[in-house]
Amino acid sequence: MGAKNTPTERSVSFLIRGMDCAEEIATLREQLAALDGLKSLNFDLLQRRMTVELDPGGTSPEGVLAAVARTGMTAEPWEERGTEEGSTDSGRLRRAWTTAASGFLLALGFSTHVAGAGWRAAIGGEEGTGAPLVARCAFLASTVLGAWFVAPKAWLALRRARLDMNLLMCVAILGAIGIGEWFEAATVAFLFAVSLALESWSIGRARKAIAALMTLSPSRARVLGPGNNEELVDAASVAVGAFVVVKPGEKFPLDGRIVRGRTTVNQAPITGESVPVLKEEGSEVFAGTVNEESAVEVRTVKPFADSTLSQIAKMVGEAHARRSPSEQWVERFARIYTPTVMAAAVLLAVVPPLLGGLWEKWFYQALVLLVIACPCALVIATPVSVVAALAAAARQGVLVKGGAYLEAPARLVAIALDKTGTLTEGRPRVSAVVPRAGHDEAELLAIAAAVEMRSTHPLARAIVEHAAQKGIRPVPATDFQMLPGKGAHARIEGVDHWLGSHRYLDERGQESEEIHRELEALASSGSSVVVVGREEHICGYVALADRLRDGAAASIQKLRRAGIERVVMLSGDNRGTAERVAREAGIDEVRAELLPQDKVQAIEELVAEHGRVAMVGDGVNDAPALARSSLGIAMGAAGTDAALETADVALMGDDLSHVSWLIGHSRRTVRVIRQNVIVSLAVKAVFFVLAFAGFASLWGAIAADMGVSLLVVLNALRLLQPSRTSED
């Protein structure tokens, strides 16, 4: 739903009834371009939504409504769209019945004509001299019904002196009637009506694919009220901070955090993960995911309209407005192609008769060229492919911001990967415990955990968590004191202890050559080392490291098999840590100890060398590098508003293999688009040659065009069910 507009905010959205293809969008752009104070004009074909931004004091929303009405379409404020789906189905049903009636009357006229004059005469052959009256009446009725939805738009196009496909078809129909080709006229009208119905169906299918994302989220929520009473209410009415109970087998209605209970959750609708994920108290859950094991109590953190699922559906819907390079090429080509073929039709109608040819024959062939001039199949070939691919990617947990970014992965040469949170889990874990001076491992961990209990540092939390996993309960420490950038002090059972970095140990003057060698060896292996000591001796060290994500090494190999020539890791961490992670992941090139501006420079160097470079990061800390790359990919974006807004592509889960899947999906999409465009142009080229040779027929041309329209739509809709492998 669109937001309410204030007097100072002049961005208004409208529902446009009758906007089903790029042709209508072009008509609206032309009609509204002359409005006073129009700043911008954006269209969402899937939702039939038009958004205009007007200067204060310029054209009013009522003026926009009037301008839309002049195109033959109708507009209404977006907020009032309560029955859009019902009215859409009703309009589609009327079109279907009208088209069916046209087809029936065409068949009736053809049968009558065959019975009276023979089948060759019925299709414009040599037998007979014309259609019987009954057949002509049937053909005429078929023509009227077939052109019922086309003629008003053709008249408006004529008044604007704009050659659109509706006008071209009507000229061809009237021309055929003018030379007595009743069967041809009815066939063109009927088949063009079928073609438009197919186009409307294909857009409707893609629209439903987007709408299906929202149906993943339940409309009702079980809210805990006073006295722990459960009440089923509309999910959209649940306030942030409310407590919701979700039982096994049910979907989570809103984004939230578990406050009671433990379960596993199927997150495939959001993140694309095939394996259920364990969720405990404090874990984040998303609307539309499925609770699999036991009942849990969830505290909501976002309203229904702002849930991660709602944002995904909204962004996929808006993504179609960001046209891909192929869509832009087709639009530019159609602007040249249509008038060129029109000019060729005029020449074909005039030149051969002047050279002694039969006027009627070449006028008829010119009408064939008018049919060929209709760019219908060509125009729908690309956008339907793009929309289907966008919807399929969203279902895999890969949110692509638009067609402009859908084709980019297919052309990538190099990929730069952030280390922390992308290749690694993003949180340190204890990798080694080295006791000294007579202490054992358990005692050393108890001391370290006691000192770190009150610290919020990530290393401190990792040590406390590791001690708890070992079953160690530290004695409470007193007199805790943080030493920023160095470590911490605390008293344990009356004895002062300290904990800190190698640098702090050196400052205290307690470092020996042996201890220095041991600490340098741990650091060179890629670990962060915490030293634990007291006044009289060093108790030992705790080494911590960020662990490589499961499957990260396999994901890097998939990238190489997908054709990526160069994989580079960018990290702000020390070189030892960065090189350890790179070795484990199978990455050859490492750039370590980088500041944010250094990462941007590294991306610029890669772009200069390879041209097409993607950056994969967390979408927040890596924002400058993501923006500078050819394609910015945010990883683990589920629930993160900043990540969803920052990158061109957002991987909702933490699975790096989705990058190679995206590359394969992008290449498959590009192949489908190319197939559709080539087939569309090839059929038109064949009939272009046949028309100039004098062998083409109107009904054959429109039948071929309709067949190609159906073919490209079905080919495009294959992308709704993409392969799960990058090699497809």
Give residue-wise pLDDT tens across range 530-575: 899 888 888 898 888 888 888 889 999 999 998 899 999 988 777 7
CA pair distance 477, 452, nearest whole angstrom: 9
Tell me the pLDDT of the chain averaged across its residues. 79
Asked if residue 632 lies in contact with residue 649, where contact means CB atoms within 8 angstroms, the answer is yes
Q: How confident is the model at residue 199 (pLDDT cuts 50, 70, 90)?
A: low
pLDDT of residue 259: 92
pLDDT greater than 50 at residue 660: yes
Q: How confident is the model at residue 376 (pLDDT cuts 50, 70, 90)?
A: low
pLDDT greater than 90 at residue 387: no
Q: How confident is the model at residue 22 (pLDDT cuts 50, 70, 90)?
A: low
The percent of residues above 70 in pLDDT, for the chain, comes to 82
pLDDT tens for residues 130-169? 557 788 889 899 999 988 888 887 887 777 777 667 777 7
Calculate the alpha carbon distances from 149 to 88, 190, 261, 637 in Å.
15, 11, 58, 45
User: Which pair of structure tokens corresponds to residue 60?
Assistant: 């009013």
pLDDT of residue 83: 38
Tell me the angle at which helices 133-146 and 182-215 cross, rounded to the nearest 10 degrees.
Answer: 30
pLDDT of residue 320: 53
Q: How confident is the model at residue 645 (pLDDT cuts 50, 70, 90)?
A: low
Lowest average pLDDT, out of 37-46, 115-124, 306-315, 704-713, goes to 115-124
Q: Please, what is the Cα angle at 481 between 509 and 507, to 5 degrees?
A: 15
What ranges make up the beta strands (E) of 436-527?
478-483, 487-492, 495-500
For β-strands 613-617 and 414-418, DSSP reports them as parallel
CA-nearest of 536, 447, 434, 515 to 487 is 447
Question: Phi and psi of 320, rounded to 5°?
Answer: -60, -25
Q: How confident is the model at residue 84 (pLDDT cuts 50, 70, 90)?
A: very low
Please, which contacts does 270-279 make with residues 24 or more away whose CB atoms are closer than 8 Å? 270/308, 270/309, 270/312, 270/397, 270/638, 270/652, 270/653, 271/397, 271/638, 271/652, 271/653, 271/654, 271/655, 272/395, 272/396, 272/397, 272/398, 272/652, 272/653, 272/655, 272/658, 273/397, 273/653, 273/655
Tell me the residue type at 361.
K
Which residue(s) pair with 568 in the sheet? 416, 589
Helix (H) or strand (E) segment spanning residue 458: helix 458-469
Which residue(s) pair with 418 in the sheet? 570
3-state secondary structure 399-455: EECCHHHHCHHHHCCEEEEEHHHHHEEEEEEEEEEEECCCCCHHHHHHHHHHHHCCC
The total of other beta-carbon atoms located within 10 Å of residue 4's CB is 7
Lowest average pLDDT, out of 73-77, 521-525, 713-717, goes to 521-525
Lowest average pLDDT, out of 79-93, 291-305, 518-532, 555-569, goes to 79-93
User: Of the residues 20, 44, 164, 418, which is catalytic?
Assistant: 418
CA pair distance 94, 337, nearest whole angstrom: 33
- What spatial distance separates the first Cα and last Cα of the chain, rounded to whole Å? 38
pLDDT tens for residues 343-353? 888 888 888 88
Asked if residue 298 lies in contact with residue 258, where contact means CB atoms within 8 angstroms, the answer is yes
pLDDT greater than 50 at residue 1: no
Instruction: Please report the DSSP string for 320-382 in residue order.
Output: TTS--HHHHHHHHHHHHHHHHHHHHHHHHHHHHHHTT--HHHHHHHHHHHHHHH--HHHHHHH
CA pair distance 72, 680, nearest whole angstrom: 28
Domains of the chain: 11-82 (3.30.70.100), 90-210+319-386+675-718 (no CATH), 220-306 (2.70.150.10), 411-424+549-665 (3.40.50.1000), 427-547 (3.40.1110.10)
CA pair distance 389, 673, nearest whole angstrom: 11
pLDDT of residue 4: 39
Is pLDDT larger for residue 652 or for residue 665? 665
pLDDT greater than 50 at residue 14: yes
Let me know if 418 is a catalytic residue: yes
Whole-model pTM? 0.68
User: Which pair of structure tokens corresponds to residue 208?
Assistant: 């439903």
Lowest average pLDDT, out of 154-163, 479-488, 648-657, goes to 154-163
User: Which pair of structure tokens corresponds to residue 404?
Assistant: 């402009």
CA pair distance 244, 258, nearest whole angstrom: 9
pLDDT greater than 70 at residue 714: yes
CA pair distance 199, 710, nearest whole angstrom: 8
